Amino acid sequence: MLYPTSRPQDAALREAVSGRVVLVTGASHGIGKVTAAKFAAAGAVVIMVARSAVELDAAADDITAAGGIAHTYSTDLTDMEAVDALARDILATHGRVDVVINNAGRSIRRSIDESYDRFHDFTRTIDINYLGPVRLLLALLPAMRERGRGHIVNISTWGLRMPPAPRWAAYGASKAAFDQWLRTVATEVAADGVTTTSIYMPLVHTRMSAPTDFGSMPGLTAAEAADLVCHAVVAKPVEISPWWSGPLQAWTDLTRGPMQRLMARSIRFT
């Protein structure tokens, strides 16, 4: 009810991605791994990007064993020179990228009291959640625009559709930065046939969320989250978010002072 899932028909997904080159970052586990497998099963040529070569190769082996096509690129997206080399290699080898799934990310939940000597938390989240994907898309967008076709899906967080919550400063700021960047760029590339979708994803029970206190809270499975990504590629909506997020965001803007005071009090319980 809070976040209904949406799974496209197999035929619709196959029509959308069969023969297309789909790049998935963070593809070695969780949402990215399941998403890559779903696209490959639908006939896409999947480009899988992640840091861990061992996990990445294992995920790709599962795809090829099932009859799919997957190519792996072990890359640290916080290394900007490596990102440039990645884009050059992919374009030289495959000729194009039709769809980019920006899924790789890093989540940090820490209060400001615990952050005074941890500036690296902010550089880490900015590098992987903002600068890395920007660098990658700066290298891929020219070819997409020249071909007159391309789709970018950003896995964002529903936290951006709600009042800022305590302890999420590093993560929220980095996700908001890329969200704003992509929404702005979307207005400039639409005329060239490049579309974008922002998915404001709720809690997803994956390896990244496992060490947190949210294990017992309601959330999506990686497969349910991957279904949302597939829906984004088929339907190409501008955004996918909870049905209640629009009214809540409007109410938050109208009552910013009271909402901020409410969140300030909530830190005692988070």
Which residues are known to be catalytic? 171
Q: Report how far residue 173's alpha carbon sits from residue 170's, in angstroms, rounded to the nearest whole number.
A: 6
* Phi-psi sector, 67: left (phi>0), alpha (psi -120 to 50), beta: left
Calculate the CA dihedral of residues 121, 127, 129, 135 and round it to 10 degrees.
170
Secondary element (H or E) of residue 99: strand 99-102
Report which secondary-structure segment, H or E, holds 178.
helix 169-189
Give the tokens for residue 236.
Answer: 């190409």
| Angstrom distances, CA of residue 224 to CA of 11, 95, 172, 184, 207 | 18, 31, 23, 28, 15
Candidates 58, 18, 59, 12; CA nearest to 41 is 18
Which tokens sit at 20? 């297309």
